[in-house]
Amino acid sequence: MEMINIIAILFSLSAIFGYINYNFIKLPATIGILLIALLISTSLLIAGSLGFQAITNIQILIKGIDFNETLMHGMLSFLLFAGALQVNLDDLAKQKGVILSLATAGVVATTFIIGFGSWWLLSAMGISISLVYCLLFGALISPTDPVAVMGILKSAGAPKSLETKIVGESLFNDGVAVVMFLVILGLVSGGHDVSAGEIVLLFIQEVIGGIIYGLIIGYIGYSMLKSVNEYELEVLITLAMVMGGYALATVLHLSGPLAMVIAGLMIGNHGRMFAMSNKTREHIDHSWHLIDNILNTILFLLIGLEVLAISTDYRYLIIGAIMIPLVLLSRFLSVGFMIGVMRRFRGFTPGVVKILTWGGLRGGVSIALALSMPRGDERDLFLTATYVIVIFSVLVQGLSIGKLVRNSSVQIRK
């Protein structure tokens, strides 16, 4: 099927499911659309098992959408730039220690806890999978993606400091997790051992290089915005920064996600203050808010439909369910340790470890990375497990984090 037809179907389904959710289900938009897509996908699978052939054509359509390519080299750049555009740099600077530790050491710690934990669990179940594959799974499931929970946090009256921690971590840990994933993927598919020197060079190239590159394109974009006063052109400049900047980062083997975050922070703060008129600022905010909402809607629709493209082996589904407590425990241990160390030097909101643990949702990035694993039984198992964890994360954690925040707020007032 031609790409234009696939895009037309995705937009149409997003609008229809959004309408149904708004009028009848009344859940947060992305969560409601995900739930509807998941229910329809499950119904189609049941129909297919009963002999209805239409399911085959629909599965072919879904499998024809390269989720990894669509997200990692299409939607992610827009989503990260749009998210960073709304973050106040002063608020981020106040939480820089927490964000940096969670997005770096926290990701590494979570990767190894999940990697060794899943290896032990699978061995106990009589399933023989090499440790390096389990570590690969740990890397891809480590990054948090709290897009769906941010609206809930705001409506629940989450403290600004807590909101900044969650947003800041999610913006930066994608890039770090992707580097971890690439390093371990090299061990799996490269046919040779990856030396410590190669890991350091990859980190410098991807992470440090991505940050420097983000500063460069952010400065170029800022300079261009400052020299014009026509909001249509200025919106176009920001779009070019994201699309062209991310594409060039991929060619240069730099971290596109980190580059988009840095560029978004520069334009959203320095650019907003010194390079935009009030009219331009308003139009850029509205334009990127709309882009962010539309792409998030389509992303969660795709996640709900992706069940048609993964293995539904009941054993893999059970393993995925078993992995949920392991992922939550790893998050609790890594967050708890980092916060525990930093409590000696600064104060924290009561219940911060619980909220950061439960609010650390997994999302589309984890599924996209799982889809990029080498084909084989290991990929089928961990892709299904990843999907189960993501669905639990969004539907269960996403819908209950608001209550946890409100309860913590009550404790603070007491």
pLDDT in tens, 33-43: 999 999 999 88
pLDDT of residue 414: 45
How far apart CA 170 and CA 145 sit, in angstroms, is 6
CA distance 262 to 270: 12
Helix/strand/coil for 1: coil
| CB-side neighbour CA atoms (13 Å) of 104 | 10
Q: Which tens digit of pLDDT belongs to each residue from 346-371?
A: 888 778 999 999 989 998 999 999 99
HSE of 138, CA atoms in CB hemisphere, 13 A: 28
Res 149: pLDDT: 65
Residue-wise pLDDT tens digits, 251-281: 999 999 999 999 999 999 999 999 999 999 9
Do the beta carbons of residue 325 and residue 388 sit within 8 Å? no
Tens of pLDDT, residues 287-331:
999 999 999 999 999 999 988 888 778 899 999 999 999 999 999
- pLDDT attached to residue 274: 92
What pLDDT, on the 0 to 100 scale, is given for residue 337?
95
The answer to whether 164 touches 352, Cβ cutoff 8 Å, is: no
Supply the DSSP string of 160-213, one letter for each residue: HHHHHHHHHHHHHHHHHHHHHHHHHHHHHHSSSPPPHHHHHHHHIIIIIHHHHH
The pLDDT assigned to 44 comes to 84
Closest CA to 108 of 211, 166, 178, 180: 180
C-alpha to C-alpha distance for 396 and 148, rounded to whole angstroms: 12
The residues of the chain scoring below 50 in pLDDT are 410, 412-414
CA distance 74 to 401: 29
The answer to whether the CB of 308 falls within 8 A of the CB of 58 is yes
State the pLDDT at residue 224: 96
Measured between alpha carbons, how far is 302 from 305 in angstroms, rounded to an integer?
5
Query: What's the one-letter identity of residue 279?
Result: K
As a whole number of Å, the end-to-end CA separation of the chain is 59
